[in-house]
Amino acid sequence: MSKVLVFGHQNPDTDAIGAAISYAALQRELGMDAEAVALGEPNEETKYALDYFHLQAPRVIEKVTDETQDVMLVDHNEFQQSVSDIAEATILSVVDHHRIANFETASPLYYRAEPVGCTSTIILKLYKEKDIAVVPEIAGIMLSAIISDTLLFKSPTCTPEDEAACHELAKIANVDLKTYGLDLLKAGTNLENKSIEELLDLDAKSFTMGDKTVRIAQVNTVDIEEVLTRQFDLETAMEKLNLENSYDLFLLVITNILDSNSELLAIGDPVDKVEEAFDVSLDKNRAFLKGVVSRKKQVVPPLQNVF
């Protein structure tokens, strides 16, 4: 029997890697010589999950056909998201929760697609259908994938099945979902490893408002207070950037991806326009913006209106 490589999409997220690991493990239980591999290094969030559950990061591959013909795809099906030589490989199976596009095979295959929030939710069903128990570390990486894909059930893509699967896996892995989930997502935002300059440049754009130049940066986090432990350094850097680049006003929007609120940090002039735009009072250059997550839709237009 030939070797089978199991992998998710390029630029892998936690589901791409977690689903490859769990699906390859299932296939081995079923007697296949299956190995989970990846089309890229794990991101910070995935690394956190792998470390937590003492799992090895899958080997990163560029091509498959120099080592085997047979592959199984998880968390993707579109060829342009897959391995470079996918067209020359034999796809034995696909387990996925994305649209089906640009997909064609020469031979029959097993194809499982469901419109749920995470591939790992489907893989849990496959374990049950085959009457195979999920071991704790595999449960751990599977529940991590569900937390990641659904932002701990907050994403509109999350279904009741994802939530139920995640709770079931949390029992097997023996983790507290809320605590672990927050830690995992926080590891993904990983702002503490970013310099102040990187943080302010990560996603910054300049806008002309009236006769002023307003610079607006946004960072995502699961812990706004943690970002603001560096408030003094942020303010110093924002002042410097204003001076060097002739920005009148620098706004940093720190968005909590879990509760969909933001904290605004404003340095420069005119701050009264900022207070007017959001109907807030700045306290120590800060204001809470309830329900604000989108710069494009919720930050720029009200500012533009008052300038």
CB environment 51-62: b (16+ within 10 A), e (fewer)? ebbebebbeebe
Binding-site member from 4, 5, 6, 16 for Mn ion (CB under 5 A): 16
Residues 122-151 that bind Mn ion (CB under 5 A): 149
Q: How far is the CB of 180 from Mn ion (least distance, A)?
A: 19
Binding-site member from 5, 6, 7, 15 for Mn ion (CB under 5 A): 15
Q: How far is the CB of 120 from Mn ion (least distance, A)?
A: 8
CA–CA dist 281, 275 (Å, integer): 6
Cβ-based nearer residue to Mn ion, 115 or 301: 115
Burial classification of residue 82, based on how many CB atoms lie within 10 Å of its CB (0-12 exposed, 13-18 middle, 19 or more buried): buried
Binding window for Mn ion (CB under 5 A); candidates: 9-17, 40-48, 209-217, 277-285: 9-17
Q: Residue ranges of the alpha helices (H) in 116-261?
A: 119-129, 136-150, 160-173, 177-189, 196-201, 224-228, 231-245
Cβ-based nearer residue to Mn ion, 149 or 235: 149
DSSP-assigned letter for residue 166: H
Cβ-based nearer residue to Mn ion, 73 or 267: 73
Cβ-based nearer residue to Mn ion, 117 or 268: 117
Cβ-based nearer residue to Mn ion, 35 or 149: 149
CA–CA dist 78, 60 (Å, integer): 19
Count of Cβ atoms closer than 10 Å to residue 301 Cβ? 12
Q: Residue ranges of the alpha helices (H) in 202-280?
A: 224-228, 231-245, 271-278
- Tracing tokens 């500012």 back to the chain, one arrives at 303
Biggest CA–CA distance in the chain, Å, is: 72
Cβ-based nearer residue to Mn ion, 118 or 191: 118
Binding-site member from 4, 6, 7, 13 for Mn ion (CB under 5 A): 13
Cβ-based nearer residue to Mn ion, 77 or 255: 77
The yes or no reply on residue 75 touching Mn ion (CB under 5 A) is yes
Residues 104-123 that bind Mn ion (CB under 5 A): 119
Q: How far is the CB of 89 from Mn ion (least distance, A)?
A: 20
Binding window for Mn ion (CB under 5 A); candidates: 28-36, 73-81, 237-245, 251-259: 73-81
Binding window for Mn ion (CB under 5 A); candidates: 23-31, 43-51, 67-75, 172-180: 67-75
Q: How many alpha carbons fall within 13 Å on the CB side of residue 247? A: 22
Site residues, Mn ion (CB under 5 A): 13, 15-16, 75, 119, 149
